[in-house]
Structure 1
Amino acid sequence: MSKERKSMISTEELYQYMDGTAGFPEEIGTAKIRKEKSRNDVLYYRWDLSFTQDTDAKKCDNAGMDEVQIIFNLNQNIEWQVGEDPASPRFQKVIMNRGEVCIYRNDNIGTSMFYPSGRHYQFRSLQMKTPRFSELLHMLFPKEESDQIEKMVFSRVMKTRITPEMFRILSEIDSADRYAEFKDVYLETKMIELTAQVLFGIVNGENANVKKEIYIDPQDRLSIEHLREKIQLVPYDDYSAPKIAKSLAMSLSKLNRLFRMMYDTSLHAYVQEMRLEYAASLLCEIRMNVSEAAARAGYNNMSYFSKSFRERYGMSPKEYRERKVLENDL
């Protein structure tokens, strides 16, 4: 019997794949890597990887960068090595389980991951320069607490579970294109929010031993993610829960349970939130009156729309529209 082939992805090749300057070799597998960049140079990567051969991916350094990196492991347990010299105090082997997020400082040290063949991997990651991370840390926490967190993160890999709030923010970042010219601002705020959620998880001790691990079948997770993205992009469509459950080949109770697990809100509440946001954006257009905005956002009951709008924005749709008209005239 011939020995199974094993592939190696070099540091240079990995950087080329991340930057999109080289295609992923078909003989190894497939890779979809999408990069987003915030106004303050925080990088967000969306990783979707499948391997047909056992593969070692190795970075000998971090291209001279001193960064804090946050990695969200969505669906497969994997072993990850930080540092190359076992004698170094920074050397660490980490088992990153599905549903966990890791945060650590990479001040130009090497890292590596081993990907067994025949598996599909999904990650999300944030990378920000260490001074920017320290700035956020001291903005979010009192000095004594922020100094303690900084000391932990700068010395070793820290882990916590991915909470429903984190899953929600990840999905919102993934569909940030809908905000067009405001995308940069939106990404910046969401990346800060996501970092804050991870840090609060670390502080609250929700580490790898917590038994509340959230595991969702990868195909089910993908179906729910696509549903949420569609709701964001087309909020006025018909989102009857029984109809959606049937189209996704799952029970109604499973649909509602998975949506709440992933986004910490009900399907119905999320649809209403997106419709109200859409209606509010339409009201900012001078020629769009209240009834037209309500109808285009998917509402056929004006009294229910007005009540929901007031609860969300603290004023009636008409008052909101008049205020926006006045602001635009200034």
Structure 2
Amino acid sequence: MRVLQVLLSPRIGGAESAAASLAEVWEGRGLACHMTYLDRDRPGGALARAFGLREAIREVQPDVIVSHSALPNVYSRLVAGAIPVICVLHSAARDFDDPKLKFAERLLQHQTRSVVAVSSAQREEYVALFPKQRVVLIPNGVASRFAPAAQFDLRGPVVTIGRVVAQKDPALWSAVTRAICVEHGSARFEWFGPFSPGVLSTDDERWHHRSDSPAVFRGPTKNVDEVLRGAAVLFHPARREAHSVALLEAAATGLPIVCSSDVAATMPQWLPMSVFSTGDARDATRAVRAVLTDLESWRERAIGAVPQVVDNFGIERTARTYESEMVRARQAGVS
């Protein structure tokens, strides 16, 4: 089977990480897996996106298309013709609050073979708007390279993984890191991911980009597994997630996790997490402090959860579930 995965752009994010992990497993299982992007270098117009995707489809000749997130889902169905498209919902935002996306989704329902939600809440939101559409739940998976380090360094940094955008609440991260660094002179915070100017005040942005700052933006990395193995804690300040790949990867690495209550609600309740009220910097400071002051105990609990994380969210299991859905989509006629 030839699979074409469609993404918006070659950036760092949960959808991109999930697609790369799926491709790695599928290729190992003998599937021919290809990747293409609507926007390669910069955002293009509608016609440029459609023609570019059509050319990629003509070149690859896929048996099935797996599109990731709202815009790729729209364009894939517009140009795929008879090729079945599996639309994966990744966004933490309510995409269909946008009237244009909602209209496009209604228009394309007849061309929709399969919709995949990565979280139960996401599935419920979609079905409430499009009740006749079949939606299958396939939680994100974590690659096997994410595993605990042989030795755990209690002095490792508190890391954050993801794009530095408003949804991830960098302002809260900045307030928390400043407060913790005053209390704990040896504490270090590192945020890995593309930085978006304007999400912080000028003073905060300068402070966090200083080489001697205890809380710094490190920029993008292709070695998230290595970053996590060298860390002591994952601090995820985001206000909302669909089903965070970053949290799963940290959990598989045996890291204690600090996250907001809204994000924690998308994760299994047996996962050790120090939870704070969404958007509350003071409560987030408390949650980070609670882990740092009892780090050995938190690490022990996190390591204890690793086998369950791998059993429930290993990428091999996720990839097999997608394969079953791809076979079903190919066999089913367009409704």
What TM-score do the two structures reach when normalised by structure 2? 0.29
Choose 1 or 2 for highest CA Rg: 1
Whichever structure has more strand as a proportion of its residues is 1
The higher-RCO structure (CA 8 Å, 6+ apart) is 2
